[in-house]
Every structure is written in C-alpha cells, then in structure tokens.
Structure 1
Amino acid sequence: MVHIDSTTLFQTHKDLLFAIAYRMLGTANDAEDIVQDTFVDVQQAGFRRDVKDEKAYLCKIVYNKCKDYMSKTARARSAYRGPWLPEPMLTEDPAERVLFQESLATAYLILLLQLSETERSIFVLRQVGSFNYAEISYIVEKSEANCRQIYRRAKQSIGQIELRSMPDPTRTRLLIEQFVYALQNGDIAKLMELLADDIVFAADSGGQVPGSLVPVRTAERTARFLMKTSGFVPTGMITEIEQVNGQWGLVLSLGADILYVFSFQLHNDRIQAIYATVNPDKLIYIRRQKNRV
C-alpha cells in the first residue's frame, strides 16, 4: 500500500465528494459522515499501487458507501410521514465552487431523488463530477455502453428543468421580500399576486411538527394556509433572507435555534413552488452552519 497525505486529499477532493454524496442521499449530515469515513478508510489502508486516478477511486468509495446507506434506510424512507424534502443548507455564490451548481436547487434535488439509485448515481457522476463514461464505468462497475444508456434515461426523466436559466438573483430577492411583507402584514391580496395559480406548497415535518402532511395546491389555498399558519410563529422569531441551496430562501430562527427554512421555485416572475423544512432533525446541519457564521 502507498500511504499519502490524507489532509491534502481531503482539501483537494472534499467538496466534490460531499457534492456527490449529498445529491445521492439528500441529507447533508449523512453526506458529511460518508466523506469523513472515506478519508478515515484511506488514511488507515492507504492506496493500492495500481490506483492511477485518486479522484475516481475516492468517488468509488463514496458511491459504495452511499449505496450501502440507501439500502439500510430504504424502509425508514418509505415509512416517512408527509413529504420528504432534501436537507437544506446555506451556500455561497453558486458559481464559485462545484458544490454550488444549479443542481443544488431544492426543486432540482427533488426530481433527482425520484430517480432510481443507479440512474441518480450515474447522472450525478456525469453532471457534477464531470466524469467520462470510462471513469463512471469503473466507479459503478457497469459497462460504458450501459452507463451511457442509463444516463440518457435519467436525463429524460429529469426533464427540462436543468435547461432553465437560474432566476435573476435580484428579482428573486425582491419577490421573497414582498412575500415576507405580505405575510407579516396579513395582505392576502398581495400574497396571491406573488403566487402562481398552480403553486404547490410542501412542508417536511416528518410528523414531528404540526402542519399539513400533504402538499397544498393552488394560489388561494396556499395563501390562506400560509396566513393561517403565520399566526403560530413564536414571538421574537427572526426572518432572514439567506442563500439556501444556491438560491435565495428564508431562514426563520428563535435565538440560536432554526425552526423553519423556506426554499422557492420561481417561474415567469411568480412563485411556482414553496418548500418548507420544519423537521428538527433536518435542520441540524444548517443550524451548525448558521451558528458558525
């Protein structure tokens, strides 16, 4: 075995490995654990002498660990109460690092997580890792021809969302500011102006927090639901507009505790979908991020 500097490896590849694991699992804490476990394994065992591509080799380890994790948690995922949303996370400028590409948007991740495990893995390796099919074949242990076919199928399943340009950040922030203003001032007419007619509101509570366990649809129903539930917001709650999953979103906190995170999908200058994460277990990672700032 050839032992190499694990610290250098970590600094060089940690963002990419986390990006892949997070998109495969949809859970930031688990993705972080898998990346850490990968480097512990490499540090203890070292690299085989025949390893020529460190990046692909590390991604292969992460891929296998993600597969094992998904197998172990499949039953719990199927029994989850209400909508299951990816864990939200604070991000920097999406253009700055591989982690913060367009495919980090909540709406995109939801589509990604609807693919089969194999489709999702190959799609992520190609799109995020920029691996060629020979490298993907090595990582997932399938033929190059099979990988090409699976990738094409996954891309068709994802649909056209990946081809849409990112919404203008300035316009997005303005819409969110107006959204907050309408809620805080009980202006339901203004709120409905901001919502698309066919909007979908989905809240991930895991059954731990009172709320709707099914998505709310249409502008009128969503507006009334939001107005009703906004009355339950604790006194002293702070609402901040933050970069959540590469786009502007809302983080609602009480002291050091984050209670709600909202992500938005926009289309034609209106809010097409709202994703609210309220399950305390899914706010641990973003709470750690927030408290480090």
Structure 2
Amino acid sequence: MPTLADEFESHRPRLFGLAYRLLGSAQEAEDAVQDAYLRFSGADRAAIEHPAAWLAKAVTNLCLNRLTSARARREEYVGTWLPEPVVTSDGALGPLESAQRREQVSLAVLVLLERLTPTERAVYVLREAFGYGHREIADVLDLSEANCRQLYRRAAQRVAVTESRFEPAPERREELVTSFITAAREGDLAGLEKLLAADVTWWGDGGGKVSAARRPIEGREKVVRFLVGGSRRFGAGLEYTVVEINGASGLAAWADGTLVGVAEIELRDGRIAQVRAVTNPDKLEYVRRQLTRP
C-alpha cells in the first residue's frame, strides 16, 4: 500500500502546475504545494474520498491567500514585472502538446492574468488549463455554479487571448534563436534587422536588482539599438544556451557558470515578435535548478 508521501508525490507535478499558473511564481508555487502537503499529512485520510480533488482545492485556496499580498508587492515593483520563467521541455508544467496549451503558460498570458481578481484567475485557470467543469470549480471555490460561469465569462473577456501564437518546427525555432544570439553578440545590425519583426517589443525585468530596461522597448530600430549597445556593455564573456521557456522558444545567458538571465522569444511569421527577458536574480533560482539538474 503506498504511503501518504508516495500518494502526495503522484499529485505533486499537477499541483505545481496549478499553483504556478495561479501565482506566476515558481518559488511561491513550490511553497504552496509544500503547505498543501502539510495539510494533507495532518488531515483525517478516512474523510478524504478523492485525494486529487481535495489537494486541488487546498492548493487553490492557499494560492488565493497569497495572491492578495502578491498583487500589493507588484504595485511597488521596480520596472516591468514579468512572471518567473520555467523550463517546460522537462514537463514541469505538464504536457504541452498543443499550441493552445503552450500559449496558456506563456509569460504573455500570465501577465494578462494579472488583470483578474484572485477568484477570477482561479476560475479561468481551472477551466482553461485543467478542463474543470463549472460544477467542479464551484466545489473547489465554494461558490455557486452560476457564479462560476459568470466569473469565467468575465475573466475570458478581460484576458482576451485573441491572437494564437504560431511557431515553426522545433528545428527552425532553434535555428532562429541561435541566429539571434549570434547577431546580438556580434552587434550585427543587418542580421538583427532581418530577424526582428517591424513591431517587435522587448520587455525586461531586472526588478531594480540589475540593469534592465524599465519600460518596454518598441519597434525594430529601437530594439536593435538597445541590443547592440547591450552587447558592447554587457555581452562580453556571456555564454548562451537555447532552451524552451514557458512553452516557447527561449535562451539562457550564463556568466562564468552562473545563470544571469532567461528570455522567452515569441515568433510570428518566421520573425521575432516579442522578447521577455528576466534578469532579476530573485526570479532565476527555480529555472537555474532546472538547468543545472544532473
């Protein structure tokens, strides 16, 4: 017979995926899942008829409690706030076998979820990412089914993910990212101009801890100028690896073996349309552990 710990571990990946989508923070998601384990280990197991449902409810409520204080902290955040990046090629956020599933964990969508109230976000995530019916969501949140339907409609309207992200085959994605790394490192203006969409936007999150653009940089010319200047000031000595970040193409930057930045790269029509770069060291701990895991 499996132990309590064994039973919990069988649910941990799904619970982490739920908590991360609700919080936008891998480290806080880990904490919420651990708190759920403590509640699970102290509960009367005879009273838990369906452990998966019980744990999903526990994690959701723990995250709702955290979201209120998280929103207050983000209002005081220095510069652009982006979610903590996660490497998804190892299944950390569950199977992402479709473009829609990949889009739901993208940094862009997670930023959009910040527009929602905590309860709206919970309803939206349970419905969109985990396929819960409105009755199941009502049981998790202790709300009426009609209220959950209303909350979902409102959340879907506010998030309004209208443009589905299309990416080329994996080999082509890696080729584009590798070309981007080479052009940025060498300060190759012509190369960068070929790779970037005319309306490309660069988002940087340094959190006031390291140098980063505090406002979005919009347009090919401005982004090229920013990258060329950055390559001269900061690019020397950096090493880059191509990685899958939040279901999208991405890269990781290393300095003397230390992870110093991660970027999610959104491609559109064979060009780079959006770059979301996280260099705040406080947000790199989880992804660092992923990338350096034996």
TM-score (norm 1): 0.91
**Residue 30 of structure 1 pairs with residue 28 of structure 2:** yes
Q: Which residue identity lines up with residue 63 of structure 2 in the other structure?
A: C
Question: Is residue 15–residue 99 contact of structure 1 (8 Å, CA) maintained in 2?
Answer: no
**Alpha-carbon distance in structure 1 between the residues aligned to 2:168 and 2:152:** 26
Superposed displacement of residue 183, structure 1: 1.1
SS of equivalent to 1:113: helix
**Residue 111 of structure 1 pairs with residue 95 of structure 2:** no
Superposed displacement of residue 250, structure 1: 0.5
**Alpha-carbon distance in structure 2 between the residues aligned to 1:48 and 1:273:** 50
Which residue in the other structure is 2:56 paired with? 59
Q: Which shows bigger deviation, 20-29 or 40-49?
A: 40-49
Which residue in the other structure is 1:190 paired with? 191
Question: Is residue 83–residue 203 contact of structure 1 (8 Å, CA) maintained in 2?
Answer: yes
Return the match for 1:43 from 35, 41, 44: 41
**Alpha-carbon distance in structure 1 between the residues aligned to 2:42 and 2:96:** 27
Q: Which residue identity lines up with residue 228 of structure 1 in the other structure?
A: G
Please give the per-residue CA displacement for 1:72-105, whole angstroms capped at 9, x wherever unaligned: 3332211001111011122226699347841122
Structure 1 residues 94 and 44, CA gap change in structure 2 (3 angstroms): closer
Equivalent positions of 1:235-250 (< 5 A) are 235-250=236-251
Which residue in the other structure is 1:220 paired with? 221
SS of equivalent to 2:87: coil
Superposed displacement of residue 46, structure 1: 3.3
Equivalent positions of 1:248-259 (< 5 A) are 248-259=249-260
**Alpha-carbon distance in structure 2 between the residues aligned to 1:138 and 1:162:** 32
Structure 1: where are the runs of 5+ without partners? none
Structure 1 residues 73 and 112, CA gap change in structure 2 (3 angstroms): closer
Return the match for 2:73 from 56, 72, 76: 76
Return the match for 1:19 from 9, 17, 20: 17
Return the match for 2:84 from 75, 84, 87: 87
Equivalent positions of 1:130-169 (< 5 A) are 130-161=131-162, 163-169=164-170
Question: Is residue 107–residue 246 contact of structure 2 (8 Å, CA) maintained in 1?
Answer: yes
Q: Which residue identity lines up with residue 283 of structure 2 in the other structure?
A: K
**Alpha-carbon distance in structure 2 between the residues aligned to 1:250 and 1:163:** 22
Q: Which shows bigger deviation, 139-148 or 86-95?
A: 86-95
SS of equivalent to 2:204: strand
**Alpha-carbon distance in structure 1 between the residues aligned to 2:91 and 2:80:** 26
Structure 2: where are the runs of 5+ without partners? none
Structure 1 residues 127 and 167, CA gap change in structure 2 (3 angstroms): farther
Which residue in the other structure is 2:270 paired with? 269
Structure 1 residues 39 and 99, CA gap change in structure 2 (3 angstroms): farther
Q: Which shows bigger deviation, 277-286 or 36-45?
A: 36-45
Superposed displacement of residue 127, structure 1: 1.9
Question: Is residue 209–residue 278 contact of structure 1 (8 Å, CA) maintained in 2?
Answer: yes
Question: Is residue 108–residue 162 contact of structure 1 (8 Å, CA) maintained in 2?
Answer: no
SS of equivalent to 1:80: coil
Superposed displacement of residue 111, structure 1: 1.9
SS of equivalent to 2:250: strand
Superposed displacement of residue 198, structure 1: 1.4
Equivalent positions of 1:273-284 (< 5 A) are 273-284=274-285
**Alpha-carbon distance in structure 1 between the residues aligned to 2:194 and 2:236:** 27
SS of equivalent to 2:284: helix
**Alpha-carbon distance in structure 2 between the residues aligned to 1:63 and 1:212:** 34
Question: Is residue 209–residue 279 contact of structure 1 (8 Å, CA) maintained in 2?
Answer: yes
Superposed displacement of residue 108, structure 1: 2.2
Superposed displacement of residue 189, structure 1: 1.6
Superposed displacement of residue 224, structure 1: 0.4
**Alpha-carbon distance in structure 2 between the residues aligned to 1:246 and 1:202:** 18
Q: Number of matched residues?
A: 289
**Alpha-carbon distance in structure 1 between the residues aligned to 2:212 and 2:68:** 29
